[in-house]
Amino acid sequence: MDKRGIRRATAWLCLPIFAILAWAFQAGVQDPKLDTTDTQLVLKSLMLGQFVKANQWPATDVSETFDVAVYDKPALVDALASKFAGGAIGSLPLRVVSVDNVAEMEAPRLLYTEATGPELDNLLKAVKGMATMVVTAFQPSMKEGVLINFFISDDGLKYEINPEEADKRGILLGNIIMSCAASR
């Protein structure tokens, strides 16, 4: 075999080794399109779960389920639904529902929304006088009718509470919820 033949044979023998090395180094790098983790979404779902579990809710004869309504955030609905699958609050089965229209709401116990302006006003009117914990996100200030508002601080995602609104709605906030609240 001449020198050219030896080089070709060596190249063909080394090719699988180079391919394996390239694959091994590539395995540590994830395509950013594949990363579907939204840390804010995960944190919100965990906090909303605590808001549902760690409070005392007024008794009601109307509901057959404990509804957590999420307005116009399907990804959050999916995160909450997988977290609460088969759960219950007291004797009521817990149900996570997606709401795209105010007229579709059926007296949820917790309503989460990132709506602002007239859209938020319509949602608040729809649950006025109900034992509904209204949770908003990124509002510049606590609006009347809103019980909890998420906001971003230097330390990450935080929430503020309007205890007077909880009293109006007959919801007794748990100590953990109250002690973890922040103010801005």
pLDDT tens per residue across span 67-121: 999 999 999 999 999 888 789 988 899 999 999 988 878 889 999 999 999 999 9
- What is the spatial distance between Cα 110 and Cα 70, in angstroms, rounded to a whole number? 8
Query: For the residues 32-61, what does the mean pLDDT come to?
Result: 82
Q: Is 58 a residue whose pLDDT tops 70? A: yes
Amino acid occupying residue 50: Q
Question: Helix 74-84 vs helix 39-53: angle between axes, to the nearest 10 degrees?
Answer: 50
> What pLDDT score does 35 carry?
46
Residue with tokens 């057959």: 64
> What pLDDT score does 169 carry?
95
- What is the spatial distance between Cα 144 and Cα 70, in angstroms, rounded to a whole number? 19
The CA-atom distances, in angstroms, between 15 and each of 2, 6, 8 are 20, 14, 10
How distant is the alpha carbon of residue 170 from its chain centre? 24
* H-type alpha helices, the chain: 3-27, 39-53, 74-84, 117-126, 163-169, 175-180
> What is the tens place of the pLDDT at every residue in 160-178?
999 999 999 999 999 999 9
Looking at the chain, the number of H-run helices and the number of E-run strands are 6, 7
